[in-house]
Structure 1
């Protein structure tokens, strides 16, 4: 009891010493003994929209377990992923670097080489310096190896080479081959007599595809997903072999949950960092039979309920293992929502009155706000006081902010120390943020968003989402026009000029 009181006292001193300015680090947290540093868990969903949670206004879905985090912690109304697609956002979260600075930081195929330089500064590396055990469980999608991957040998470099002590992942996404789990560089349950082959350009002789054998499909493809089939689900890319290693789609959520719970049980004696990267509600949406039909909104609604249940079970484990009160949890999503993203799964037909974007404009792939503004919650039982915050925060800032929390110096340039905002001490986050969608960028500054002219189409027909692309400047005041319906670029030339100057300065 005395140790707990001492930690609380020292933590309070540390927070008192934090300046409201972004560039001031915690000065006293490093006096806390290593075994009292908080565990850190990042729970990261995939394609979850701003309006997909009942705590964020959803009326057709109930997400009680995530709501407990939101209602017991800081619920951010201006929380952002860096990008409107998955790979770039994950790159920014782990490196603290704007993904538009790296020309290769785009949606990767499943056989892409490792996107991160092994010498780059990363969040798990920073926390390792403070004595943390680090792990990723779930979706990776940042590439593996250095060239053509041999899936039948240990695959390096990967998560282990950029700071994670333990890694239990899928290489890319659930809709891409290879459809296998990889543990610390090795394919799980691989039979060397049935070697895995992967190719994203041409099929292997005799292997069925959704085109050649449509009768084998249990899920129909709409666009892009018509190559190799696994469990009756057509995927992106071609794969042969590895039969014993292939995952069961309907069991994936339970599988990753079990790994996350086991990790906590094995590492509760020292501080740990767990990046729990869940696959829901990305396509293909394959809820376990326990959740099938439960939402009434088709598989997309079902897997959101499944994810909420998984998070509730994970939270129970933290409590049962006695570490909940010493665990900082960050919950968010890699980008905004999309309904039809390649399969006919009733996501559009059964949507009803549900609004995945929560009234924001756009969605996944879009420069409009719904592409990058996502649910964002920080929760630390007994340390963070519940409230709703309008502070402008971004996942790119986790590197600098969490490094500051544990007393580690970084060389971050894009990541900012907004720990005050993450802990609810201040309502001030960052001033400016450059957002990205498909390598095109926009500026969020205060209540304003400016989207510069770009070449391209205004509507992504395949997914029926506005891209935010226009041949003219677009300027919106989000405080007055949350749905971005009134372009003020011509009405307010002075503000537009100011935003352009800030944007160009930051881009340099």
Structure 2
């Protein structure tokens, strides 16, 4: 691991007292994009995707070069983020079908509930995808206010008579959609509304806002003005331009929120976090994960490794640096709790680590020596990352990569290292002993439609290709 100043080029992958007595608890703004490509941000070195406001977060904080999420698709990733646990341990290992009578199990305590107990106002805007029935909705899972969608995706424009899952809702009530709306802009409007209300009504109370954009998840709906704003940029396809325009709209809303925080005098004492929910979806939304291999739903780096930024000007986090330690999205919950003046109980069985000692330079090394993944149950695809090595079991086919020297996973070393394969398989099986079979199942329509590109299909054993394309 290194921790020092680096140029923002595309990654050359090679406490406090109890909350009631804390006067300077930081605000927390957690920004989440959806199906974005690893390469598709200015701070990642993209020559086409313009993200000046997200870049400003990188310039005033830390960019993580080895950040992972706990699942390769939308719903499991969110379950891990908000619970601080491996979601496979409570049965949320697959994407939640829509509609479905269940959701993230109600006995699992979530991030906003912990922060409410520490005195925070809690707000959510955007995509939920953790349960449609009322008991599972955000306003019943720790959020004081919610505006967004309950399913995983919808049109970015007005829908006539949408289902509850695709409707825009505010604390369980349908929102009246008007002609001309654009969902990304509306999410920004509502975030500003919620924050202004918070500052006016509870000026001495810290806030936690989870702003979960749907951009740039399909459908590929971009505003004409955003498309034309990129006319001066050369794209390899019109679809890539639309993806960039959707990302531009998201970045603009981030900028509006940052400007509001600055105007209210709250920006310096706000920890701002940005990350993506899983790897870019490839042909589904024309995202790019280069130079990583794979895409959303895969166990390759392109499926689980994500861009991530953290900035907190008054919090002792250095500016404009890269952090190379192995990090997971479920580290954010324990980090927030400790930042907010709380203590961590072993009874909570959180999987994450408090990142602040690493970011402030008080601790060196990787927050995690080992991370594991599983998607679609015991017979599905799974992976284990351990001290520079990565073992992948793709529905029975085993691969081994040395990620530190081969982050693009080009050379399968399984045949040359049978003992290492045996060891890592055993470690993964021990981890799986704590996992449940999924509470619901995933079908492969996504990969049948968008699939692996030809070069990925050719790398799989023949007996698997019928299953993924």
Same structural fold, with TM-score higher than 0.5 when normalized by the shorter chain = yes
| CA distance in 1: counterparts of 2:96 and 2:105, whole angstroms | 16
Correspondence 1:452 to 2:393: yes
Match of 1:304 among 247, 251, 266: 247
Q: Which residue of the partner structure matches residue 143 of structure 2?
A: 164
Residue 360 (structure 1) shift: 0.5
Secondary structure of 1:391's aligned partner: coil
Residue 443 (structure 1) shift: 0.7
Task: Please tell me whether the aligned partners of residues 35 and 271 of structure 1 are also in contact (alpha carbons under 8 angstroms).
Answer: no
Secondary structure of 2:152's aligned partner: coil
Match of 2:314 among 372, 378, 382: 382
Q: Which residue of the partner structure matches residue 432 of structure 1?
A: 370
1:421 and 1:441, CA in 2 relative to 1: closer, same or farther beyond 3 A?
farther
Deviations 1:121-170 (A, max 9, x none): 1111111110011111001111121xxxxxxxxx4441121111111121
| CA distance in 1: counterparts of 2:282 and 2:244, whole angstroms | 10
More off after superposition, 274-283 vs 374-383:
374-383
| CA distance in 1: counterparts of 2:376 and 2:229, whole angstroms | 34
Residue 92 (structure 1) shift: 0.7
Residue 114 (structure 1) shift: 4.4
1:453 and 1:262, CA in 2 relative to 1: closer, same or farther beyond 3 A?
closer
Q: Which residue of the partner structure matches residue 499 of structure 1?
A: 424
Secondary structure of 1:41's aligned partner: strand
| CA distance in 2: counterparts of 1:436 and 1:291, whole angstroms | 38
| CA distance in 2: counterparts of 1:287 and 1:185, whole angstroms | 27
Match of 2:301 among 359, 362, 369: 369
Q: Which residue of the partner structure matches residue 489 of structure 1?
A: 414
Q: Which residue of the partner structure matches residue 150 of structure 1?
A: none
- Measured on the aligned residues, the alpha-carbon RMSD in Å equals 2.2
Task: Please tell me whether the aligned partners of residues 404 and 417 of structure 1 are also in contact (alpha carbons under 8 angstroms).
Answer: no
Q: Which residue of the partner structure matches residue 215 of structure 1?
A: none
Residue 107 (structure 1) shift: 2.1
1:382 and 1:404, CA in 2 relative to 1: closer, same or farther beyond 3 A?
closer
Correspondence 1:184 to 2:171: yes
Task: Please tell me whether the aligned partners of residues 48 and 244 of structure 2 are also in contact (alpha carbons under 8 angstroms).
Answer: no
Residue 390 (structure 1) shift: 0.7
Task: Please tell me whether the aligned partners of residues 137 and 260 of structure 1 are also in contact (alpha carbons under 8 angstroms).
Answer: yes
Secondary structure of 2:306's aligned partner: coil
Task: Please tell me whether the aligned partners of residues 127 and 408 of structure 1 are also in contact (alpha carbons under 8 angstroms).
Answer: no
| CA distance in 2: counterparts of 1:249 and 1:479, whole angstroms | 48
More off after superposition, 429-438 vs 133-142:
429-438
Match of 1:174 among 147, 153, 173: 153
| CA distance in 1: counterparts of 2:36 and 2:192, whole angstroms | 22
Task: Please tell me whether the aligned partners of residues 62 and 305 of structure 1 are also in contact (alpha carbons under 8 angstroms).
Answer: yes
| CA distance in 1: counterparts of 2:358 and 2:171, whole angstroms | 31
Task: Please tell me whether the aligned partners of residues 74 and 422 of structure 1 are also in contact (alpha carbons under 8 angstroms).
Answer: no
Q: Which residue of the partner structure matches residue 477 of structure 1?
A: 402
Aligned length: 390
Match of 1:285 among 207, 220, 231: 220
Secondary structure of 2:257's aligned partner: helix
| TM value normalised by structure 1 | 0.72
Match of 1:420 among 347, 350, 356: 356
Residue 334 (structure 1) shift: 0.6
Q: Whose radius of gyration is greater, 1 or 2?
A: 1
1:452 and 1:401, CA in 2 relative to 1: closer, same or farther beyond 3 A?
same
Match of 2:48 among 47, 60, 63: 60
| CA distance in 1: counterparts of 2:290 and 2:277, whole angstroms | 16
Match of 1:106 among 94, 101, 104: 94
Deviations 1:310-365 (A, max 9, x none): 11111111111111011111110111112332xxxxx65xxxxxx72130000111
Residue 396 (structure 1) shift: 1.5
Correspondence 1:409 to 2:344: yes
1:248 and 1:331, CA in 2 relative to 1: closer, same or farther beyond 3 A?
farther
Q: Which residue of the partner structure matches residue 240 of structure 1?
A: none
Residue 388 (structure 1) shift: 0.2
| CA distance in 1: counterparts of 2:294 and 2:179, whole angstroms | 33
Q: Which residue of the partner structure matches residue 259 of structure 2?
A: 316
Q: Summarize the alignment of residues 258-269 of structure 1 with structure 2, pairs less than 5 Å apart.
A: 258-268=189-199, 269=203
